[in-house]
Amino acid sequence: MIYINANEMAWTGGLAERATVSGLGAVAYQDRCAGCHGPDRKGAPPAFPALTDVANRLTQDQIADKIHTGGGRMPAFADIQGETLAALQAYLVTGKDDGGPQKEVVGPAPAKFRFTGYRKFLDPDGYPAIAPPWGTLNAIDLNTGKYLWKIPFGEYPELAAKGMTGTGSENYGGPILTASGLLFIGATIYDKKFHAFDSRTGELLWQYTLPFTGNATPITYMAGGRQFVLIQADNGHDKKAEQGAAYVAFALPQ
């Protein structure tokens, strides 16, 4: 059995002629960053954050550390060092190809076209432009490939307030399964819920509204003879919400 949450929404991508850039930072950005964060550094939030305000969020040392270690969907680029690193950091902050240090072309010429990045397919109101559910939680028998159950997962609070429930929503962060058959998962971006499901049926048994979104896979542990379930929560995927972070732990009453 595999229990997996999924985003049921369309994204688009495309190709465009590669812009002519010469500065070392601009070339490094086009080669390593533009595929996800876009040629204009505007990204496709929440999955691919904008970098136009990166200087307001991270110091130069933190930018360098992020480039080298990656995180989340971002791979590490430990080979970007020295003059190239400094030029890329400057380009990330300014977005300007200032004609600084030039990139030496070694080997084949770069491809004529570049990937333009990922873009959500949204309707005029900002919701996925396909029929809901836009997020699901699924139980799949890996021996047969058959779904044992599949349910909408997540809500948009403003739509739920109008009676539009069961829409599902974008979600990131996986589930854990306990020995008693309880499935714990946060993941849903906009309603900020932490949930407990019956793993046999998909029935929702309990939920709690977190202070921030639980876009992480929870853990369970024993302490003092009691079992706890803990999840990290933050609003990094929802830039319109109040920003913050917390660790939230749960246990049965003593």
Assign residue 212 the CATH number of its domain: 2.130.10.10
The answer to the question of residue 65 being in a domain is: yes
Residue 118 domain-assigned? no
pLDDT at 35: 82
Q: CB-hemisphere CA count at 13 Å for 48?
A: 19
User: Which residue range is the domain that position 204 belongs to?
Assistant: 2-8+133-250
Same domain for 163 and 229? yes
Please report whether residue 14 resides in a domain.
no
Q: At what angle do helices 24-32 and 82-94 cross, to 10 degrees?
A: 80
Q: Kindly report, residue by residue over 17-26, the tens digit of the pLDDT.
A: 877 777 888 8
Res 220: pLDDT = 97
Residue 116 within any structural domain of the chain:
no
103 and 192 inside one domain: no
Please, what is the average pLDDT of the chain?
Answer: 89
Does residue 122 belong to any structural domain of this protein?
A: no
92 and 167 co-located in one domain = no
Alpha helices for the chain (secondary structure H): 24-32, 34-37, 54-57, 60-69, 82-94, 157-160
pLDDT digits (tens, 9 = 90+) for 83-121: 999 999 999 999 887 655 555 544 456 678 877 777 889
Q: Based on the domain organization, do 100 and 157 belong to the same domain?
A: no
Whether residue 165 is found in the same domain as residue 212: yes
Q: For 53-79, what is each residue's pLDDT tens digit?
A: 999 989 999 999 999 999 877 899 999
State the total domains in the chain.
Answer: 2
Cα separation of 63 and 195, whole Å?
Answer: 34
Query: Residue 252 pairs with which residues in a beta bridge?
Result: none
Distance CA 172, CA 5 (A): 8
State how far the Cα of 142 lies from the Cα of 140, in Å rounded to an integer.
6
Q: Is residue 57 part of a domain?
A: yes
Encoded tokens for 19? 């812009």
Q: Are residues 88 and 163 in the same domain?
A: no
* Per-residue model confidence (pLDDT) at position 23: 84
Say yes or no: 105 and 35 in one domain.
yes
Would residue 37 be called left, alpha or beta, if left means φ above 0 and alpha means ψ between -120 and 50 degrees? Answer: alpha
Give the pLDDT confidence score for residue 109 in this predicted structure: 62
181 and 242 co-located in one domain: yes
Which region, left, alpha or beta, applies to residue 71 given φ > 0 means left and ψ of -120 to 50 means alpha? Answer: left
Q: What is the pLDDT of residues 191-213, one digit of tens each?
A: 999 999 999 999 999 999 999 99
- pLDDT for res 105: 46
Positive or negative, the CA dihedral 189, 194, 197, 199 is: positive
Do 219 and 163 share a structural domain? yes
